[in-house]
Structure formats: structure tokens, C-alpha cells
């Protein structure tokens, strides 16, 4: 039991196999070591065997908040979904914003831990610190949007006032390996297949009816000082200042024109480093500017909704009227994100802005990851060009009309090609001898930063504990935005240490759970003040850095036990020395991965990607009961 501020000291433990619900307190030592949200979720995941099949009922699904979630802290509306990924076989955590994290805390809960598998579809209702399971048979097969409307009426609440919903669509129900969990406002815990795990448990949705139990700071003076200091730097930052041209003005898609200009935007399945480079090579007239944040704001923006306690308002709600197969389509959706636009647009060989909006909305309704589904279709386009999918029809470059329908086909596994693509890049590559067509690391495909241009993203992708990811260590903060200081994006030296630093910092913010955009303005000083003020602890900056390293190392150790080592810290071949060189400003560049890995492992104190016993001891990491392993034990790769 913890008496620290910021916690409700209540975690729901739901055994779906028996429909039994129990509650656990938050262990004080765990809270101090792993903070909450991502860190505490991984700690709970470690109570089960890391070698389990992610699709089995033995896999655990944890929905967790942190000690700063739902408080006055700026951008503190996040929630973490932690599980073993069916896409990668690694530990994964995936977060979304909006209001569901805050409302879960206000409903009197620090988190929900789901085990087992229900006999028939169910959904969970959380209210006043209690969890109730209800029949969801009537919701199975429905999209997220219809599910949202039905549950608002059944639970008798209002999404704009006191209700939040996290649900899966047909993608999760049908075992698409990159299915996601979507909240009521189209914001997704997108990466790693969390929705696939939810579907494997016959869990359709979690509905939260919030109360008024907002945690109060244990040390109000320290908290006030930290909060005011944090708010000031956020308002003064060029990146986060409200209405100053950065995230507030254009959302995450502010990056589209920037990465295009520096030839760092993977195009046509990463064969080119920008749409300009593709045009210069004789390609058709596609242009990243057409799908940029500036273009979106000028032409299709209709609203700028915010998450809990957020002055930035990076979400850009859009409305488009477009034709699809002779039918007029009117779509209003939130939000036109950079990563989604990249994967469903330039990387797939087109820049049809309104078609991309339709695709993003379709992905949200079907409950599939926009990045992964876009990249899977780009991979299929390249394989089609090479004759590797002739027996299943294939997919042509830039065919945005077919792409719209393919999203629904993938979610329903309707047709041989869709069924194949639903398995993810690693399995497609293995089934079709197409490793050279895959842009995946540990089975998860890359986001919208070319590691030939931004070398930090190369080592960040390779060493990410959840597969290729920009959010484990967002090195473009330094390489593009100059936060905390500008570094040369083409220089590899120093990027190993930089990446480890960002990984540890984001492990802390993900465990608080606050938005990563805080880190464009705030630093460790603001983090310490707000954390100490809320909890009543007296941790130092060094203590907090150590907590971040402990969390990241625990994840790595989980992966080691699941069979992963340094050989899995790899990159797609086309980004390396013997692959396809960059073009434009990136001409001749490749990613010096091995040099950066050596630097990174040396800084981490790991041996070929494996955490040694002495590092576990140094960080005070002790595996939990139920794993069946002890420090240093090895495990064969899981059959996932």
C-alpha cells in the first residue's frame, strides 16, 4: 500500500476467464522504483512468464495511469497500455491522449490489469473505483464509431462531460497483428498490436465514467513552483508555445515540409528520401507539401480539440468531401497526424490529401494502426512491382482508391492479400522471401524519419524495446528542432549516448504519464519539482534519471528472456552501407549502425544487447514471482 500523493492506491485485477474482479494496492517500493503507467505496467507484466504466446489467455493486458495523470500538470491526460506484443514478441507499451487517462484516475483507479479470456465478448465499465463486466455480444463486429455511440447510450453518460471509452474494431476481433485500441475521439494506442491482445481476450471495450477524485499534491508549494515553471517554459518554447506556428498551429504534421526539405522523408517504401528525390528520378508528380500541416490548416481544418490540461492543442480536426468509387464521401475526423500522412501517403506513392483523411478515419473505425497499415501496403506495392504477389493480386503504387478499401479488407481478413498483410511485415517477409522489402525492426515498421538523414533515429529504431519507434527516443528533437541543443543529423558519433539519454527521459515521462511534447520545453528540473510536489517524495535529478534507466533496462531484460539480443537490434538493409544510398541532401548517406551500437552498448553497460547480472544489481531490478526465471537466465525465442 502506498500513501504517496498522486496515486489512488487501487488497481483493478480482472480475470476474464472467471469474470472475477479483485483489487490490489500499489506497492510503495514498486511506485518509487517504477513510478507508474509504463514503468509499473511493465513491472506487472513481469509477474507472468516472458516466454508466453502473446495471443494466449496467459498474456496480461495492463491499462495504467501514472502519479501525474489527471492532475493540474500540463499535458497530463495520457494512459499507457502495456502487454506482450503479438506483432513483435517483445514487451510493448502504447499510449494515447484525450481524456480517458484522466477519467480513469478520477474514477478512483490507478489502472486495470486484465488476465484470461472471456467465454463471450464483454466490455468493462469503471465507475467509483469499481469494475463491472457486461455482455458485448451485440457490439462484436461493429466499428469503433458505432460502438462509441451505442455505449454512450447504454452507460448513460456524455463523452464531452464525464465519459470515456477505449474500444477495438474488427481489426482487434480478427487478430490483425497491429490492431490498436481507440478512444472515443479517434486517438489510438496504435503501435504493437494492443488491440489484437484485447480482441484475443474477447474484451470489446472499457468504458470509464469519471468521478471527482482528482489527486491533490502532497507538497503544494513545491508542486506549484514546478507547475508554474513548467507552464512558463512551455509558453516560451518555439515548438510548444500556443498559437506561435509550431505544434499549436500545425500539429505534428508541422514536420512534413521540414523532413521533405532535408531529404529525410521515406518515400515509396523508403527507396527514396523525399518526394522531391523521387520526382528528380523521373517519378510522377507527388509532393509532400500537399499533405503538410500548412496545407491541411489552410484547406480542411475545422477544429482544434485539446487533451486534458493542454494549452498546445496539437490535434487538427479536419473535414473533407471526396469521391470514392463514384460515391460522395463526407468525413470529419481527428486528427491529421504526420506519421499517418507519411505512411498512407508519400511512403505509399501518392499525396492525395483528402484520400488520406478518409484512410485515417477508416483505420480508426476498423481499429488498425495507421503507420503499420500504410507501411504494409507500401511493402505490398513494392513486392507487386517485383512479381512477389502475383498469386494474390497485389497492389499498385499510389492507388489510393484501392487503399481505402484494403484497410477494411485487412481488418476483416477478407481475401488472400488482406489476410497476408494482416500478419505484419516480419511474417510477410518470411512467407514470401521478401526480407529486402521489409522496413521493420523486430517486426514493427519504421515511422516517418529516414535514418540515412537522421542518424540518431537509426540507433533509436534498432534499440527500441518495442520495435522500430520514434517515441522511445525522439532524437529529431535535437537533430531537427535543436532541443535541448542542436546536433548534426548526419553525424553518427555521440548518437548512441544521445539515444540512451532520450530513452531514459521518455521512460520517465511515459511513467508519469504525461505527453512527450512536454520535453520540447521542460527539463529534468521541472519534472523533479512536479513529481516531488505531487507525491511528497524528495528525489533528486539523478534519482529520476536512474528510474528511467531502470524502467528501460527492465524492458530490455524482459525481451532478453523472451529470446532477443543484439542481433535483433538491426535496421532494414536499404538504410545500411550496402543498401540504397540516399538522394538529394542525403546523397550517398547510409546509417553507421554497428558503430553506434558499440557506443550505445558501452554507455548502457550491456553485452551485445543483453543486460548482465551486475547491471540488474546496480539498478535494483529483481524479477517478480511467476516468471519462473532468475537474473541471468536465458530463454529461447517465443513462438509468437
Q: What is the CATH number of the domain that holds 564?
A: 1.10.599.10
pLDDT value, residue 184 = 84
Q: Report yes or no: 610 and 560 within 8 Å, Cβ to Cβ.
A: yes
Q: Does residue 409 share a domain with residue 260? A: yes
Domain count, the chain: 3
Is residue 553 pLDDT above 70, yes or no?
A: yes
Q: What is the per-residue pLDDT across 48-105, written as a single tens digit (0 to 9) for each?
A: 999 999 999 999 999 999 999 999 999 999 999 999 999 999 999 999 999 999 999 9
pLDDT score, position 638: 34
Band of the pLDDT at 490, cuts 50, 70, 90? very high
Mark which of 445, 463, 479 sits at the end of a domain. Answer: 445
Residue 251 bridge partners (DSSP)? none
Residue 472 and residue 551 in one domain: yes
**608 and 472 share a domain?**
yes
Q: Same domain, yes or no, for 285 and 365?
A: yes
What is the predicted pLDDT for the residue at 624? 53
Question: H helices within 483-523, ranges in order?
Answer: 495-512
Residue 636, pLDDT score: 33
Q: For 120-129, 279-288, 527-536, 568-577, which range has the lowest pLDDT when averaged over its residues? A: 279-288
What does the pLDDT average to over 533-554?
98
Strand partners, 82: 62, 93
Using pLDDT thresholds of 50, 70 and 90, give the confidence band for residue 471: very high
Radius of gyration of the chain (CA): 23
* Same domain assignment for residues 342 and 401: yes
Domain carrying residue 495: 455-619
What is 221-242 written as a DSSP string?
HHHHHHHHHHHHHHHH-TTTST
Q: Is residue 317 part of a domain?
A: yes
Q: Are residues 332 and 195 in the same domain?
A: no
Taking each helix axis from N to C terminus, what angle separates 455-463 and 495-512, rounded to the nearest 10 degrees? 60
**Overall average pLDDT of the 105-120 stretch:** 98
Q: How many helices (H) and strands (E) does the chain have?
A: 24, 17
Q: For residue 141, which phi and psi values (nearest 5 degrees)? A: 95, -10
Angle between helix axes 425-432 and 370-385 (nearest 10 degrees) is: 20
Q: Are residues 175 and 43 in the same domain?
A: yes
Quote the CA–CA distance of 104 and 83 in Å, as a whole number: 18
Q: Which residue has the cell 538491426?
A: 570
The lowest-confidence range among 164-173, 185-194, 535-544 is: 185-194
Residues 156 and 287 placed together within one structural domain of the fold: no
Q: For residue 115, what is its C-alpha cell?
A: 488476465
Residue 581 confidence (pLDDT) above 50: yes
Q: What is the pLDDT of residues 227-258, one digit of tens each?
A: 999 999 999 998 998 877 789 999 999 999 99
What is the bridge-based pairing of β-strands 163-167 and 130-135?
unpaired
- Supply the DSSP symbol for 190: -
Asked if residue 381 is part of any domain, the answer here is yes
Residue 560: pLDDT above 80? yes
Are 478 and 607 within one domain? yes
Q: Above pLDDT 70, what percent of the chain?
A: 97
Residue-wise pLDDT tens digits, 261-319: 999 999 999 999 999 999 999 988 899 999 999 999 999 999 999 999 999 999 999 99
Q: Is residue 221 part of a domain?
A: no
Cα–Cα nearest to 383, from 417, 434, 425: 434
Q: Dig out the grid coordinates for 426 from the structure.
A: 516480419
Closest CA to 374 of 392, 393, 398: 398
* Nearest to 410, CA basis, from 165, 196, 572, 139: 196
DSSP H or E segment with residue 197: helix 194-200
Position with higher pLDDT, 159 vs 14: 14
Taking only the tens place, the pLDDT of each residue in 199-213 is 999 999 999 998 877
Considering the domain architecture, whether residues 478 and 605 belong to the same structural domain is answered as yes
pTM over 0.85? The answer is yes
Buried b (16+ CB within 10 A) or exposed e, 25-62: ebbeebbebbbbbbbbbbbbbbebbbbbebbebebbbb
**How much of the chain exceeds pLDDT 90, in percent?**
90
Task: Return the C-alpha cell found at 211.
Answer: 468521478
All residues at 6 or more sequence positions from 591 whose CB lies less than 8 Å from its CB, including other chains: 451, 452, 455, 458, 492, 571, 575, 576
Least confidently predicted of 240-244, 444-448, 454-458: 240-244
Q: Strand, coil or helix: what is 545?
A: helix
pLDDT at 325 over 80: yes
Cα 268 to Cα 284: distance, rounded to the nearest angstrom = 12
Q: What 8-state DSSP symbol labels residue 610?
A: B
Taking residues 550-575, report their average pLDDT: 98
Residue 109 counted as domain residue: yes
Which are the contacts of 65, defined by CB distance < 8 A and separation ≥ 6? 36, 37, 79, 80, 101, 104, 105, 109, 110, 111, 513
pLDDT over 70 at 621, yes or no: yes
Tell me, yes or no, whether 150 lies in a domain: yes
Within-domain flag for 576: yes
In a domain, residue 243? The reply is: no
Average confidence score pLDDT of the chain: 94
Which stretches of 388-454 are DSSP H helices? 400-412, 416-421, 425-432
Q: Are residues 400 and 463 in the same domain?
A: no
**For the domain that residue 122 is a member of, what is the CATH number?**
3.60.9.10
Evaluate if residue 371 carries a pLDDT over 80: yes
Q: Which residues contact 449 (CB under 8 A, 6 or more apart)?
A: 259, 264, 266, 457, 470, 476
The CATH number of the domain holding residue 396 is 1.10.569.10
Phi/psi region, residue 435 (left: phi>0; alpha: psi -120 to 50; beta: rest), is alpha
- What pLDDT shows up at residue 630? 38
| 292 and 420 fall within a common domain | yes
Is 217 within the bounds of a domain?
Answer: no
Amino acid at each position: 500500500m502506498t500513501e504517496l500523493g498522486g496515486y489512488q492506491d487501487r488497481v483493478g485485477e480482472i480475470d476474464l476467464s472467471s469474470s472475477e474482479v479483485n483489487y490490489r494496492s500499489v506497492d510503495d517500493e514498486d511506485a518509487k522504483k517504477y513510478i507508474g503507467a509504463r514503468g509499473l505496467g511493465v513491472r506487472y507484466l513481469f509477474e507472468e512468464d516472458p516466454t508466453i504466446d502473446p495471443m494466449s489467455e496467459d498474456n496480461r493486458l495492463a491499462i495504467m495511469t501514472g502519479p501525474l495523470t489527471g492532475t493540474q500538470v500540463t499535458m497530463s491526460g495520457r494512459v499507457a497500455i502495456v502487454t506482450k506484443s503479438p506483432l513483435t514478441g517483445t514487451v510493448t507499451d502504447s499510449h494515447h491522449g484525450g481524456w480517458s487517462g484522466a477519467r480513469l484516475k478520477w474514477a478512483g483507479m490507478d489502472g486495470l490489469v486484465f488476465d484470461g479470456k472471456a467465454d463471450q465478448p464483454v466490455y468493462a465499465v469503471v465507475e467509483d473505483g469499481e469494475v463491472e463486466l457486461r455482455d458485448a455480444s451485440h457490439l462484436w463486429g461493429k466499428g469503433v464509431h458505432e460502438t462509441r455511440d451505442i455505449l454512450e447510450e447504454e452507460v448513460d453518460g456524455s463523452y464531452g462531460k464525464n465519459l470515456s471509452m477505449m474500444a477495438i474494431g474488427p481489426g482487434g476481433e480478427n487478430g490483425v497483428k497491429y490492431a490498436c485500441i481507440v478512444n472515443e475521439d479517434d486517438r489510438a494506442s496504435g503501435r504493437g498490436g494492443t488491440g489484437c491482445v484485447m480482441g484475443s481476450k474477447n474484451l470489446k471495450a472499457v468504458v470509464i465514467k469519471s468521478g471527482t477524485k482528482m489527486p491533490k499534491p502532497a507538497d503544494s508549494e513545491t508542486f506549484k513552483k514546478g507547475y508554474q515553471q513548467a507552464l512558463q517554459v512551455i509558453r516560451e518554447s518555439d515548438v510548444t508555445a500556443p498559437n506561435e506556428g509550431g505544434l499549436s498551429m500545425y500539429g505534428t504534421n508541422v514536420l512534413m515540409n521540414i523532413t521533405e526539405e532535408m531529404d529525410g522523408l521515406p518515400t515509396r517504401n523508403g527507396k527514396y528520401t523525399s518526394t522531391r528525390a523521387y520526382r528528380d528520378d523521373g517519378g510522377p508528380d507527388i509532393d509532400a507539401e500537399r499533405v503538410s500541416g500548412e496545407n491541411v490548416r489552410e484547406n480542411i481544418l475545422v477544429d482544434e480539440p485539446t487533451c486534458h490540461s493542454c494549452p498546445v492543442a496539437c490535434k487538427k480536426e479536419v473535414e473533407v468531401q471526396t469521391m470514392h468509387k463514384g460515391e460522395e464521401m463526407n468525413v470529419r475526423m481527428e486528427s491529421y497526424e504526420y506519421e499517418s500522412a507519411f505512411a498512407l501517403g508519400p511512403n505509399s506513392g501518392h499525396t492525395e490529401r483528402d484520400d488520406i483523411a478518409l484512410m485515417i478515419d477508416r483505420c480508426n473505425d476498423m481499429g488498425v494502426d495507421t503507420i503499420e497499415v500504410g507501411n504494409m501496403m507500401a511493402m505490398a506495392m513494392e513486392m507487386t512491382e517485383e512479381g512477389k504477389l502475383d498469386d494474390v493480386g497485389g497492389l499498385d503504387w499510389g492507388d489510393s482508391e484501392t487503399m481505402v478499401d484494403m484497410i477494411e479488407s485487412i481488418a476483416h481478413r477478407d481475401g488472400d492479400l488482406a489476410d497476408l498483410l494482416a500478419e505484419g511485415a516480419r511474417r510477410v517477409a518470411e512467407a514470401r522471401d521478401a526480407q529486402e522489402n521489409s522496413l521493420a525492426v523486430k517486426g514493427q515498421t519504421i515511422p516517418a524519419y529516414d535514418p540515412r538523414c537522421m542518424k540518431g533515429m537509426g540507433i533509436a529504431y534498432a534499440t527500441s524495446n518495442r520495435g522500430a519507434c520514434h517515441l522511445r527516443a525522439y532524437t529529431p528533437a535535437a537533430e531537427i528542432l535543436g532541443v535541448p541543443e542542436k546536433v548534426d543529423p548526419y553525424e553518427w558519433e555521440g548518437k548512441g549516448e544521445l539515444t540512451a539519454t532520450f530513452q531514459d527521459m521518455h521512460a520517465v515521462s511515459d511513467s508519469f504519464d504525461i505527453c512527450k511534447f512536454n520535453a520540447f520545453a521542460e527539463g529534468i528540473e521541472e519534472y523533479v519539482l512536479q513529481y516531488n510536489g505531487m507525491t511528497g517524495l524528495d528525489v533528486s535529478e539523478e534519482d529520476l534519471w536512474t528510474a528511467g534507466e531502470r524502467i528501460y533496462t527492465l524492458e530490455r531484460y524482459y525481451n532478453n528472456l523472451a529470446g532477443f539480443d543484439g542481433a535483433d537490434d538491426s535496421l532494414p538493409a536499404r538504410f545500411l552501407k550496402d543498401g540504397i544510398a540516399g538522394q538529394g541532401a542525403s546523397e550517398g548517406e547510409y546509417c553507421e549502425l554497428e558503430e553506434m551500437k558499440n557506443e550505445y552498448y558501452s554507455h548502457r553497460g550491456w553485452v551485445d544487447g543483453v543486460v548482465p547480472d551486475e547491471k540488474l544489481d546496480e539498478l535494483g531490478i529483481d524479477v517478480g514471482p511467476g516468471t519462473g526465471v532468475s537474473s541471468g537466465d536465458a530463454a529461447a525465442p517465443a513462438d509468437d
